[in-house]
Amino acid sequence: MSAGPAIDVLIPTCNRPGALAVTLMSLASQTHAGLRIIISDQSDGEGAFVQPEVAAVLRFLRGQGRELHTLRNLPRRGMAQQRAFLLAHARAPYCLFLDDDVMLERDLVERLHHAISEQGCGFVGSALHGLSFIGDVRPHQQHIEFWDGKVEPERVTPGSAEWARHHVHSAANLLHVQARLGLDRSTTRLYRVAWVGGCVLFDTAKLRAAGGFDFWQELPAAHCGEDVLAQLRVMERYGGCAIIPSGAYHMELPTTIPAREIDAPRVLPVSATVAAGTAQATRLNMS
């Protein structure tokens, strides 16, 4: 009996068939063979899977022998619920949450898998480069803190000193840091993060143990920052990091989540332990 996939690639998508097709094609070229791809579509009308560009790439992936699951998740109840829905379908030891507007270098998933397997931490991310900013050099946003030993648990909260780490992920800052330090794939390094957007490989069991995205029921449908909150909770218990060089590129499309007043890590407890206690107290009060 053959082993199952090592990584489930979990892709939430909504009304971006062209971008989704490009993202899927970058998965088709990955050197890591043990991938299962699970897409949760919340697009209007008939959805993304019947759109010609997406349907063609799905046929191509299936022709490669890639295992694919195409799911619809309606009505829309917010991005945290969308991610919880995807995580509920994950069966592999690791799950890669990948946005539907990201292009990956062909060895990136393999490099992420190597890093998380070696470290045994909760997640390893690959921050997105915005190549339209390649000429916009921002030395004041290029501070980076490397992990020189084992990745360890950290508590990071909004407004803390560690929160400022997110600036290195703006524009093309990380690419400029990479060039300045002369880093390439053979000299991949791990660094400390506040969070990573768009391309994050989790240890599936550790993400679930930290609560996953079960907090979706505590948020209104219009929210943002659900990926950040999940990472902060995993990082507090198991540690998390990102790799440089990255190898992930943002298509720089307009956001599909314009309502951003409710930011999950600012309205819910960052600590998974506190969150669990709050949820238990709520259940007791309601019983």
Q: What's the predicted TM-score (pTM) here?
A: 0.93
The confidence band for 33, taking pLDDT boundaries of 50, 70 and 90, is confident
Q: The dihedral of CA 142, 143, 148, 151: what is its sign?
A: negative
- Compute the CA torsion angle 183, 184, 187, 188 (nearest 10 deg): 100
The confidence band for 257, taking pLDDT boundaries of 50, 70 and 90, is confident
In this prediction, residue 213 carries a pLDDT of 98
Share of the chain above pLDDT 90, in %: 88
Using alpha carbons, list the distances in angstroms from residue 278 to 29, 269, 273: 44, 9, 9
In this prediction, residue 173 carries a pLDDT of 97
Quick check: helix, strand or coil at residue 200? strand
Per the model's pLDDT, the better-predicted residue between 226 and 281 turns out to be 226
The residues, any chain, with a CB within 8 Å of residue 135's CB and separated by 6 or more, are none
128-146: per-residue pLDDT in tens? 999 999 999 999 999 999 9
153-188: per-residue pLDDT in tens? 999 999 999 999 999 999 999 999 999 999 998 899
Q: How many CB atoms lie within 10 A of CB 270?
A: 20
Q: Dihedrals φ, ψ of 163, to 5°?
A: -60, -30
SS (H, E, C) 39-55: EEECCCCCCCCCCHHHH
Quick check: helix, strand or coil at residue 285? helix
Asked if 196 and 250 touch (Cβ cutoff 8 Å), the reply is no
Interhelix angle for 272-286 vs 226-238, to 10°?
110
Q: How many CB atoms lie within 10 A of CB 175?
A: 19
Q: How many CB atoms lie within 10 A of CB 172?
A: 22
Quick one: average pLDDT of 86-106? 98
The residues, any chain, with a CB within 8 Å of residue 272's CB and separated by 6 or more, are 210, 211, 233, 234, 236, 237
pLDDT at 283 over 80: no
In this prediction, residue 276 carries a pLDDT of 55
Place domain 7-279 in its CATH homologous superfamily: Spore Coat Polysaccharide Biosynthesis Protein SpsA; Chain A (3.90.550.10)
Distance of alpha carbon 272 from alpha carbon 279, whole angstroms: 10
The residue count for the chain: 287
In this prediction, residue 275 carries a pLDDT of 59
In this prediction, residue 280 carries a pLDDT of 46
Quick check: helix, strand or coil at residue 124? strand
């000299």: which residue's tokens? 187
pLDDT at 148 over 80: yes
Per the model's pLDDT, the better-predicted residue between 231 and 274 turns out to be 231
In this prediction, residue 15 carries a pLDDT of 97
In this prediction, residue 1 carries a pLDDT of 36
Direct distance between the N- and C-terminal alpha carbons of the chain, in angstroms, rounded to an integer = 47
Distance of alpha carbon 202 from alpha carbon 240, whole angstroms: 9
pLDDT at 273 over 80: no
